[in-house]
Amino acid sequence: MSLKDIHYLDLVEVARRIRAGALSPVALTQAMLERIEKTQGTLKSYATVTADLAMQQARQAEAEIGRGAWRGPLHGVPIAVKDLCYTKGIPTAAGMPIHASFRPDHDATVVQRFADAGAVLLGKLQLTEGAFADHHPSIAPPVNPWHQDHWSGASSSGSGVATAAGLCFASLGSDTGGSIRFPSAANGVTGLKPTWGRVSRYGVFALAESLDHIGPMTRSAADAAAVLGVIAGADANDPTARQEPVPNYLAGLERPIRGVRIGVDRSLNTTGVDKTMIGVVDDALAVLSGLGAEIRDVTFPSPDEAVKVWLPLCAVETAVAHEATFPKQADQYGPGVRGLIELGRGLSGFDLTKIQLVREAFRGRVAAFFQDVDLLLIPAQYTASPTTATMATLGQDENALSMLLRFTAPFDMTGSPTITLPGGFTDKGLPVAFQLVSRHMEEDLLLRAGHAFQLATDWHKRRPPV
């Protein structure tokens, strides 16, 4: 394979070739930068390209690996991060023109851990304003590489587009109501939302801190395992980061999933869900059953109340996160985030207490549910590959917004880990995905099940025509 074709390889394969001396980090990084330059005008996935830093890191990686000082599976591999992760001396705008000139004086923990692992940072990926639903009116949204008229996801849209289009070998996204999972599904990549606190949020712009999750967006479950193993773990700078040791996620991938109990709530998975999505979920179920998983019909706790209170909870936490600039600079905000913050500032302590009680009750029910199953299989969203025109009108229909959040926001409310896996295509050739959900801190099981599914299928290996 020539360098002009290598951008679509899995990260773990690129890492293997780099370690073996068959692939030069310097030449690879240069090729990736040239590809970004060629496609940026069309796909608009990057907010900032860090070409000089990338070449410096690539040269250092090449020298280290050449003398046998290999740091691990990200060493010399070009990656990118969502532009809400602080990068020292590099613009970090969080999709907000109000922060366009902000250059942090330190790295986010996840960025530092990438650097410590020897990864090559190609740049910062575009996102919706403040990581909420809409891109700021002055910013051109990233374009779905499968079809320009279809949604690229929110808010980690740039991460999904860049990973799918071969503009990095892995990226980071964030998820507060579905923003790793929506763009992963829309762009046909594998997205892992870890347990809340499994990955440090230090140095990451907040949307709603008790709901925010940072996680990998990659082209395979194995790649996600490699990235999670680097970024996860305790952090003295983040008191909410989980203290449990980080396992070698890659090492456990090959274990079979025979006997793993997968719960399926057929009513939840089909009510209001389009037939393409239902078909993808059913096909995934058949594959996992064929791999030896034990399929159990279950009734999942109703997510309706949790979905209903997600928006006001997100709103009040967003208002807190933006206290320094809102309302003083409210005129510089786009209408979506401005409306969200105004909603949050109008809530009372009485309102917030009722929300928290709903959340705690739902968390308890979900914890009890996972006593009887190991995984839950659900759609990624209620409709397969919506158009951007459809999504632009979503806020006008309260029921449609609730349906969109139905399979994502509940697991931000509980902090449960999920993996989003490509599972099929629409008649128009757009990717469709499903999710697996597990108990807290069982990312290893999610990754193992995802890897088993991907060994048995090739949906994740299909690439957009870019």
pLDDT band at 238 (very low <50, low <70, confident <90, very high): very high
pLDDT band at 392 (very low <50, low <70, confident <90, very high): confident
Kindly state whether residue 266 falls inside one of the protein's structural domains. Answer: yes
The CA R_g of the chain, rounded to the nearest whole Å, is 21
Q: Cα–Cα distance between 162 and 80 in angstroms, integer?
A: 8
Distances (CA, A) of 348 to 309, 316, 330, 352, 413: 14, 9, 21, 6, 20
C-alpha 137/C-alpha 392 separation (Å) is 13
Query: What pLDDT was estimated at residue 2?
Result: 64
The tokens describing 366, both together, are 């979900």
For the four alpha carbons of 436, 439, 445 and 446, in that order, the dihedral sign comes to positive
pLDDT at 398: 74
Percent of the chain whose predicted confidence (pLDDT) is above 70: 99
Helix (H, G, I), strand (E, B) or coil at 163: helix
Amino acid at 162: A
Nearest partner of 441 among 416, 407, 404, judged by Cα: 416
* Nearest residue to 316 (alpha-carbon basis) of 364, 358, 374, 356: 356
Percent of the chain with pLDDT over 90: 96
**Mean pLDDT, range 56-68, rounded to an integer:** 98
Per-residue pLDDT band for 354 (boundaries 50, 70, 90) equals very high
CA angle 55, 59, 61 (to 5 degrees): 115
Residue numbers of the domain that contains 131: 3-461
Contact between 176 and 212 (Cβ < 8 Å): yes
Query: Taking CA 101 as the corner, what is the angle to CA 125 and CA 142, rounded to the nearest 5 degrees?
Result: 25
Q: Is residue 22 packed enough to be buried (19+ CB in 10 Å), middle (13-18) or exposed (0-12)? A: exposed
Q: What is the mean pLDDT of the chain?
A: 97
Residues acting as catalytic residues: 82, 155, 179
Q: Which of 153-167, 173-187, 395-409 has the lowest mean pLDDT?
A: 395-409
H or E stretch covering 49: strand 46-49
Which burial class, exposed, middle or buried, applies to 274 when counting CB atoms under 10 A from its CB (0-12, 13-18, 19+)?
middle
- Annotate 94-133 with b (16+ C-beta within 10 A) or e (fewer): bbbebbeeeebeebbbbbbbbbebbbbbbbbbbbbbbbbb
- For residue 192, being part of any structural domain is answered with yes
- As a whole number, mean pLDDT of residues 120-146 equals 97
CATH number at residue 441: 3.90.1300.10
Q: What is d(CA 310, CA 176) in angstroms, rounded to the nearest whole number?
A: 10
The dihedral over CA atoms of 267, 268, 273, 275, expressed in degrees to the nearest 10, equals -50
Q: Which sign does the torsion angle of CA 426, 131, 32, 225 carry?
A: negative
| pTM for the whole structure | 0.98
- The two structure tokens encoding residue 21: 């001396």
* Average pLDDT for 372-381: 98
Average pLDDT over residues 50-67: 98
Rounded CA-CA distance 35/433 in Å is 27
CB-CB contact of 262 with 295 (8 Å): yes
Residue 448 C-alpha from the chain's centroid: 18
**232 with 198: CB under 8 angstroms?**
yes
The pLDDT of residue 1 is above 60: no
Cα separation, 34 vs 54, whole angstroms: 12
Give the span between the Cα atoms of 113 and 175, in whole angstroms: 20
Query: Which residue bears the tokens 């995802």?
Result: 450
Omega before 289 cis (within 30°)? no
> Residue 400 has what pLDDT?
82
Q: What is the mean pLDDT of residues 357-372?
A: 98
Helix (H, G, I), strand (E, B) or coil at 192: strand
Residue given tokens 């409210």 in the structure block: 330
Structural domain contains residue 31: yes
Task: Determine how many CB atoms are found less than 10 A away from the CB of residue 454.
Answer: 22
User: What's the total number of domains in the chain?
Assistant: 1
Quote the CA–CA distance of 365 and 301 in Å, as a whole number. 6
HSE of 449, CA atoms in CB hemisphere, 13 A: 33
pLDDT bracket for residue 395 (50, 70, 90): low
Q: Is residue 466 part of a domain?
A: no
pLDDT tens per residue across span 156-178: 999 999 999 999 999 999 999 99
Query: Does the N-terminal peptide bond of residue 327 adopt cis geometry, omega within 30 degrees of 0?
Result: yes
Angle at 182 between CA 372 and CA 197, to 5 degrees: 60
Tens digits of residue pLDDT in 199-224 = 999 999 999 999 999 999 999 999 99
